[in-house]
Chain A
């Protein structure tokens, strides 16, 4: 199982967006797969994507914008190098998730949904990661970690940030 796999984001390119949208356009209901791929490629959905995707799918810009803003995954600004999400659903609350989140905000000096000033960490809440018997659960990039506490979280985040910084100038890590 791969750990710490992270895709480096490409810089925005209209041609790339056009290629992504065109590749999916004949699928049934292609908009979500297109937006997912845009996020996977660039790390976020730049506002400049809206007219490109709308044109390819023959939708109005309003329709595309409406879909982007409806779903939490389609962030419209770049996130930090490391993505930390702390589960705040009931099962994790029963074992201290709210305290863990409050501690993380203090420790990392960042509010929920925000990115640290140095651009290294985005902190957000999530409602359920499906690890409800082993909470509190967090997700660091794509990896779920259970039975979390503040100290261990600080260590894991520090490791992830260090790896992200080390990876930054080089090519994408292979799966």
Chain B
């Protein structure tokens, strides 16, 4: 009888050698005439254990990791194909504390199933939500999503149901569903992992959205830095079409919805929804002023739903288990679960899906286990390059949109990047401005010019030229950018800058170091 062994094909796992492990296992099991079937899955999200290899046994799936190609002979000697003891063994995967304590909804199947197997999708709860949605009137589907309290996972946290209702209510013979998979924020990788690990979940969410608002065409806009996600989504679209739930006559109904992947071209700003629409239209990714809202005049001027990957991937769970079950999770007006992503200088980096309300401390200390370097944590940046830097004194903040906003911070897309005590926060503030200058679309002056001036002002502060006058000037500049920019790029770049000044002021008052050769070192 063949033994099934699961090895991730996720980009993160492959970046630390999962392909080498798979070939090593193939070679050594062939040499020993062992009957093994290797299934390439997504990643369970326990990234510090990658490559994580799981073996299917009578006692469930047993995890070993991190496995190097050279470990395979010793693992086979230890009978790991039947779950044998070995220093790399972690026991049943589902019982690993990091995983056991999570509330996996969106990520329930990522790392478990074969991402491109339609049979796996159906056998693991797939299409239940779509069938249920198709039996409902569109307005009832929208009502379910509204009742769930689902808010957009891209960062802004706008209620998804209200957006859908607007598109449903706007007359039009052509409407679009656009999935924003331009996940450019540093420290975020959940969209990528979901697309690589459970692409059918996203497609199912998009088909439900199409039925709910009356859309006939959809696009998934994926950044070009994610080639594996592009390949997986394209293959999944073809498979869903062949399986009869994408294209014409979906699951035997009149619903027709076609879907295609579009690839970005290396512009961070295209993660902003109107900029993404411009890019999809084949133009420079310059943002559009709002109004008009994309829900009314979106892609090619037509009513358009623009949702993040995780928002759309939340929808099947809501339809399957009901809006009440979803609504029961969370804190305040932040309902359901969020996929938090631990990154940077972290001992145990990975995916932690939990209901809103969990504290930053629990995520960073209990799950993350502190820094990889072993030095004390000095700062964490939450919500990507436009999010605030927070000191350890803020670690009791609950993960909740409103609580974070009140603290001058944001949850954004749920990325948490950890820095140890060696970080220079004046340099990080400078980088925030530098990044904005590099990535600004150029449409509005506060962002395009303000960011360049911001770099210059911070340089003068670091060099101790009229330091206090320049700190005042920096605050003025931040105010202008926040209030005067058209979109979040210029509007939020001041957030990391101001938070660095506010919480780590001492880094802006350091004695000037002896001249170096210049640039980063």
Contacts and interface: CB of A to CB of B under 8 A. Distances in A.
Interface of A: 1, 3, 28-33, 35-36, 57, 63, 66-67, 70-74, 89-95, 98-99, 101-102, 126-135, 137, 139, 142-147
B228 to A, nearest CB: 8
Contacts, number: 167
Contact of B265 (A72, A89, A92): A72
A127 B84 CA distance: 42
Interface in B1-26: 9, 11-12, 14-16, 19, 22
Interface residues of B, number: 68
Contacts of A133: 12, 47-48, 189, 341-344, 346, 349-350
A75 B19 CA distance: 30
A126 to B, nearest CB: 6
A74 B263 CA distance: 12
A129 B187 CA distance: 9
A70 B284 contact: yes
B282 A73 contact: no
B186 A131 contact: no
B521 A98 contact: yes
Contacts of A143: 14
B188, B417, B438: residue with the most chain A Cβ atoms closer than 10 Å: B417
Contact of B343 (A28, A35, A98, A135): A135
A36, A91, A132: residue with the most chain B Cβ atoms closer than 10 Å: A91
A98 B16 contact: no
A29 B281 contact: yes
A135 B12 CA distance: 10
B385 to A, nearest CB: 6
A130 B183 contact: yes
11 contacts: A28-B217, A28-B300, A90-B187, A90-B381, A94-B344, A94-B417, A127-B186, A129-B11, A132-B187, A133-B344, A145-B15
Interface stretch (B103-111, B313-321, B418-426): B418-426
A135 B371 CA distance: 13
Given A90-B431, A94-B423, A95-B345, A132 B520 contact: no
Nearest to B435: A127
B189 to A, nearest CB: 4
Interface of B: 9, 11-12, 14-16, 19, 22, 40, 47-48, 50, 183-189, 192-193, 217, 224-227, 262-268, 279-286, 300, 341-346, 349-350, 372-373, 381, 385, 415, 417-420, 423, 428, 431, 435, 438-439, 519-521
A1 B420 CA distance: 35
Contacts of B184: 127-128
B11 A94 contact: no
B267 A134 contact: no
A67 B225 CA distance: 19
B289 to A, nearest CB: 18
A131 B349 CA distance: 10
B19 A99 contact: no
Nearest to B379: A94
B460 to A, nearest CB: 21
A66 B284 contact: yes
A124 to B, nearest CB: 10
A127 B9 CA distance: 23
A91 B433 CA distance: 16
A129 to B, nearest CB: 5
A110 to B, nearest CB: 15
A163 B40 CA distance: 26
B480 to A, nearest CB: 24
Given A126-B225, A132-B349, A71 B265 contact: yes
